Amino acid sequence: MSIDQLAETAQAMVAAGKGIIAIDESTNTIKKRFDSVGVENTEENRRAYRQMLLTTPNLGEHISGAILYDETLRQKTADGVPFALVMAKAGIIPGIKVDKGPVALAGFPGEVVTEGLDGLRDRLKEYAQLGARFAKWRAVITIGEDMPSGTCIEANSHALARYAALCQEAGIVPMVEPEVLMDGSHDIDVCYEVTEVVLRSLFGALYEHNVMLEGTILKASMVVSGKDCPEQAGVEEVAEYTLRCLKSTVPAALPGIVFLSGGQSDRDATAHLDAMNRMGPHPWPLSFSYGRAMQSAALKIWAKDIKANVGAAQKMVHERARDNGLAALGQWVSGN
């Protein structure tokens, strides 16, 4: 894929009023979700669940792409049609999670670094052949006493940059996700300071590794109060802090930013995105790449009867996609 094609794909991922649905849960993570609603974690149930999500009627009206797990990219509908083909026909770009998850960072108790670079070049080549046009790599940054360390931030930024360079070499758009966790009792000012340092480090590393920003998407965490903080910042404050942080760190050459929901409620994730877009225009489109905030309500409906409730669950998926699509335009109306 040429530089122009990478840029074209990245721009399509953040098309006006559209965002990304994240359905890239690992087998262990989806087990936790299934356990919470009483569904057995079998390969067939995982396949049926992902089919329900990806075949939602008119999903492409509000969803530009979907991040898949390795197993899902290889799966087919009950009728034998590869999911990647189903998505392409719906105008939804197939993406793939390629990191191997966080592991303890030696010498720094409580901190982690994401693994998965070994063999990544070959895996990306195969994923491209299977139809993936973008990829995702998540780094995890924890706020705590004497955390995050500069070493943790630097190690994760370096890994993200190496991953991004390999993606572009393979003709795949890299989505870089440095998630600053909500866990903790810190206030919004501390979250701002950490997020700013993390983003500065990330873009410095991307520059050093010759990553073309025009063919890269940032998946960012919002600047919020720690979930155990006694004073929770309101919607407008979160929007203002997040925008100020992004404008001070993210180059305008980037095609767009999508936000993770990161443990926020469905409503809060939508309200924060909408508030930010109402404060526009901005140097880049601001959209969403939500997992739980897109799926949780639909999963509960589907789980009650995984065969009979497909239509009702898909209706909920479409509603969540529509609401967040409107929020990406700054046009969401609470209560609709």
Q: Over 60: is that where the pLDDT of 40 sits?
A: yes
Catalytic residue among 25, 111, 136, 177: 177
Cis peptide before 281, with omega less than 30 degrees from 0? yes
CATH (domain of 56): 3.20.20.70
**Angle (nearest 5°) at CA 275 between 273 and 278:** 110
Q: Kindly state the average pLDDT of the residues 287-307.
A: 95
* Of residues 105, 104, 139, the one with CA closest to residue 260: 139
DSSP H helices in 14-149: 27-37, 43-54, 70-73, 83-89, 120-129
Whether residue 333 is contained in a domain is answered as: no
- At 1, the pLDDT band (50, 70, 90 cuts) reads low
Whether residue 335 is contained in a domain is answered as: no
- At 262, the pLDDT band (50, 70, 90 cuts) reads confident
Whether residue 70 is contained in a domain is answered as: yes
Tokens of 158: 């370096």
- At 309, the pLDDT band (50, 70, 90 cuts) reads very high
Whether residue 332 is contained in a domain is answered as: no
Quote the CA–CA distance of 95 and 92 in Å, as a whole number. Answer: 9
Q: Over 70: is that where the pLDDT of 335 sits?
A: no
Whether residue 334 is contained in a domain is answered as: no
The yes-or-no answer on residue 177 being catalytic is yes
Whether residue 192 is contained in a domain is answered as: yes
Residue 42's domain comprises 3-327
Quote the CA–CA distance of 249 and 203 in Å, as a whole number. Answer: 8
Q: Kindly state the average pLDDT of the residues 130-135.
A: 97
Round the average pLDDT of the chain to a whole number and report it: 97
Task: Note the pLDDT tens digit of each residue in 179-229.
Answer: 999 999 999 999 999 999 999 999 999 999 999 999 999 999 999 999 999
Catalytic residue among 18, 97, 136, 219: 219
The yes-or-no answer on residue 237 being catalytic is no
Prediction pTM value: 0.96
Q: Which residue has the tokens 């990806």?
A: 54
Whether residue 234 is contained in a domain is answered as: yes
| Separation of CA 110 from chain center | 23
Whether residue 336 is contained in a domain is answered as: no
Domains of the chain: total: 1
Q: Which residue has the tokens 């995702």?
A: 136
Cβ contacts of 150 within 8 Å, gap of 6 or more? none
